[in-house]
Amino acid sequence: MNLLSVEQISKSYGDLVLFEGLSFGLNAGQKVALIAKNGSGKTSILNILSGADVPDTGMVNYRKGIRTSYLAQEPELDENKTIEESIFDSDNEILEVIHNYEIALKNPEDETVYQKAFEAMDRHQAWDFETQYKQILYKLKLEDLDLKVKELSGGQRKRLALANALLNKPDLLILDEPTNHLDLEMIEWLEDYFAKEKIALFMVTHDRYFLERVCNQILELDEGILYPYSGNYSYFLEKKEMRLQQEAVELHKSKQLYKKELSWMRRQPKARTTKSKSRIDDFSQIKERAHQRRNDHQVEIEFQMERLGNKIIELHNISKSYGEKTLFEGINYNFQKGERLGIIGKNGTGKSTFLNLISGSQKPDSGKIVFGETIKIGYYTQGGIEVKPGQKVIDVIRDYGDYIPLKKGRQISASQLLERFLFEGKKQYDFVEKLSGGERKRLYLCTVLIQNPNFLILDEPTNDLDIVTLGVLESFLLDFPGCLVVVSHDRFFMDKIVDHLFVFKSSSEIEDFPGNYSDYRVYEDSKPQQSSKDQRIQNTREDDTQKTQHNNRKEFNKLETKIKRLESEKSALEASFLEEGIELDEIEKRSKTLKQLTNTIDELTLKWFELGELLDS
């Protein structure tokens, strides 16, 4: 059953054409994701589908009588209403029946009102929905129904808007970055919810595991053309690669044909026959096809980094509380060179507070934090870039200097650096407040990395970044030789770049787990079900053998990262022997360094194999 049809829609803002001539349809039960680069108009398309905006041309036709809900990135809520009032402020008749029943429960002495409300619950079969309604609020941690919207954090507002959208029981749910501001437990619950519910979805999300597990169709907006893929994210990646290869073949054929036709045209043929006249007319189309170019520019990240000393950051018996709530206490830890730490845990367990402590922006209640003399911290916060009125994109970078130092003593102008971060030409002179959410995040990332940190702290860095930019950021972080600490709900991202986790527990405990997020899920799922008492014992006392395995896994992952980095250094050193005019002394010096590198790699590789055998046994 077709729910909506989109016909030839377009949208522009002044001279900027976001998209034009887009057409697609959506059927009942389809779960569709829209993928495109930042600034391509993804949010504009969602606004048009939801009715919050209208296209410049074309139309959107909805099936008569269908119910739709829209979760925007920045939801509009009545500041003066409570959570409960916001939820029941809906045109969903069953929600109104439940609301009347809840009121009747508070006034049991009025038997007539109670009986009427009870019968309405039976008549509308609202009992199951009431259970589901309470479960949704519990899972999204919206249990204090008397809180007013104006008292809520940005994350709580987004979760309230998501609860409203789900409870509206729509036929079609439109979602803009639904996993932002959800912790990992909430995201996995939402995945299961969508798998069970017979509901059509149209979403924009950067969460690749969410795409993989929820969506059954991908629409990719690429170079102004919409490409449909009937499958999940893995299928999309496979078929996109095939499409790009086919396009490359077609482009090669067009260029060969163009050369042939250009040679014919240069002989100045006269259009004496219908056939030759047609060939002359076709030449312009052949030329256009042959000169097509993909706008495949990617973010290029390259900065110098000061070397780390032996002392990095040491935590000595630190504790932190807010009021009566203890976030953590008695934490001791020494960061090591090349450490790649991921931090996970439910909202409110102190993840961001921990980042503030190790960044030096907050102080612990007790204990001390010792920072090494060579430490230079780069801190990417959830708050993002601070927008100054009237500030242009180029001005943000020039605050750090007209020229920025790169590796090997090279430098780059502020304008050239912005081009590497995909801010070209006129875009550099746009006002920062006019940028899309993803473009602001990309600019903010640039300002953090431009300071050449050797200890990088990232708090939810993937929010609002497009999938292409995420891939480039992951590649940069994999080669980043300094220390890395990341808080993220993006499981794909975490799996790729971290080698161990701090798991923040509700009991103010921090567990050091040797592995990435998927390893942790397998580990948790393999645990036998225990009573709450047994679980508390398990949380506070771990078997010695298990601890040894954890430490071995942590060391194994660190060695793997270090070997990869040393092999990269070795390859670069070997390539340097091909340079012209190297003095004999320099050749001897490089040869000695190469031998030392090779020996170190051999020693570490042997240890890596030994640990691997222990872990497999």
On whether residue 226 sits in a domain, the answer given is: no
27 phi and psi, to 5 degrees?
Answer: -110, 160
Name the most confidently modeled range: 84-98, 469-483, 509-523, 578-592.
509-523
So what's the pLDDT on residue 533? 47
Residues 524, 550, single domain; the answer is: no
CB 611 within 8 A of CB 551: no
**How sure is the predictor about 414, in pLDDT bands with cuts at 50, 70 and 90?**
confident
Q: Which positions ≥6 away from 86 have C-beta within 8 Å?
A: 77, 78, 149, 160, 164
Question: What proportion of the chain, given as a percentage, has pLDDT over 90?
Answer: 25
Residues 329 and 387 in one domain: yes
247: domain range?
Answer: 236-290
Q: Are residues 253 and 391 in the same domain?
A: no
Please count the other Cβ atoms lying within 10 Å of the Cβ belonging to residue 597: 16
Asked if 364 contacts 319 with a C-beta cutoff of 8 angstroms, the reply is: yes
327, 384: one domain: yes
Q: Which of 495, 529, 563 is the last residue of a domain?
A: 529
Share of the chain above pLDDT 70, in %: 86
Residue 551: what pLDDT?
62
| 168 pLDDT above the threshold of 50 | yes
Query: From CA 58, how far away is CA 23, in angstroms rounded?
Result: 9
Whether 460 maps to a domain, the answer reads: yes
Residues 548 and 521 both lie in one domain: no
Q: Are 260 and 318 members of one domain? A: no
- Measured CA to CA, the distance from residue 153 to residue 155 in angstroms comes to 5
For residue 603, what pLDDT is reported? Answer: 87
What pLDDT, on the 0 to 100 scale, is given for residue 548?
Answer: 65
Residue 566, pLDDT score: 85
Domain-terminating residue out of 128, 149, 169: 169
* Domain identity same for 484 and 347: yes
Containing 590, the helix (H) or strand (E) segment is: helix 584-616
Q: What is the token pair recorded at 293?
A: 């170019």
Which band of pLDDT confidence, cut at 50, 70 and 90, is reported for residue 543?
Answer: very low
* DSSP-derived 3-state class of residue 312: coil
For residue 31, being part of any structural domain is answered with: no
Express each pLDDT in 216-268 by its tens digit.
Answer: 999 999 888 899 999 888 888 888 888 777 767 776 676 676 676 667 666 66
pLDDT at 540: 44
Tell me whether residue 302 is in a domain. Answer: no
SS3 content of the chain, % helix, strand, coil (to 5): 45, 20, 30
Confidence at 542, pLDDT banded by 50, 70, 90: very low
* pLDDT value of residue 440: 86
Same domain for 434 and 562?
A: no
Measured CA to CA, the distance from residue 445 to residue 496 in angstroms comes to: 19
Tell me the per-residue pLDDT of 305-322, one tens digit each, with 9 for 90 and over: 677 888 899 999 999 998
Instruction: Convert the pLDDT of each residue in 280-289 to its tens digit.
Output: 666 666 666 6
Q: Is the dihedral of CA 275, 276, 278, 282 positive or negative?
A: positive
How many structural domains comprise the chain?
4
pLDDT at 500: 92
What mean pLDDT, rounded, does the chain reach?
Answer: 83
Per-residue pLDDT for 359 more than 80?
yes
Pick the last residue of a domain from 126, 153, 169. 169
- In whole angstroms, what is the distance from residue 416 CA to residue 408 CA? 17
CA distance 393 to 413: 14
Indicate the Cα dihedral angle 375, 345, 169, 28, nearest 10°: 70
Whether residue 41 contacts residue 203, with contact meaning beta carbons closer than 8 Å, is answered with no
- Helix crossing, 467-479 with 437-449: angle to 10°? 20
- Encode pLDDT of 170-201 as tens digits: 999 999 999 988 888 889 999 999 988 889 99
pLDDT in tens, 131-162: 778 888 888 888 888 889 998 888 888 899 99
* pLDDT tens readout for residues 581-594: 788 888 888 888 88
In a domain, 213, yes or no: no
At residue 314, the pLDDT reads 94
pLDDT, position 553 = 67
User: For residue 180, is it within any domain?
Assistant: no
Transcribe 211-246 into DSSP letters. HHHH-SEEEEEETTEEEEESS-HHHHHHHHHHHHHH
Helix (H) or strand (E) run with residue 60 in it: strand 57-62
The verdict on 504 and 548 lying in the same domain is no
Q: Is residue 62 part of a domain?
A: no
Q: Residue 347 — pLDDT band, cuts 50, 70, 90?
A: confident
Cβ atoms of residues 443 and 430 within 8 Å: no
Other Cβ atoms within 10 Å of 135 Cβ, number: 12
Q: Are residues 340 and 430 in the same domain?
A: yes
Helices (H), 5-110: 42-50, 83-88, 93-106
Domain assignment of residue 426, yes or no? yes
d(CA 614, CA 617): 5
Residues 6 or more apart whose Cβ sits within 8 Å of residue 371: 313, 360
Q: Is there a single domain that holds both residue 363 and residue 407?
A: yes
What is the C-alpha radius of gyration for the chain, rounded to an integer number of angstroms? 29
Q: pLDDT tens digits for 204-226?
A: 998 888 999 999 999 999 888 89
Task: Give, as one character, the DSSP assignment of residue 425.
Answer: G
pLDDT score for 264 = 61
- Report yes or no: 29 and 200 within 8 Å, Cβ to Cβ: yes
Amino acid in the structure at residue 209? Y
Please indicate, yes or no, whether residues 525 and 548 belong to a single structural domain of this protein: no
Confidence of residue 356 (pLDDT cuts 50, 70, 90): very high
Residue carrying the six token digits 């790009």: 244
pLDDT over threshold 90, residue 87: no
Residues 601/570, Cβ–Cβ less than 8 Å: yes
CATH code of the domain in which 427 resides: 3.40.50.300
Residue 366 clears pLDDT 90, i.e. is over it: yes
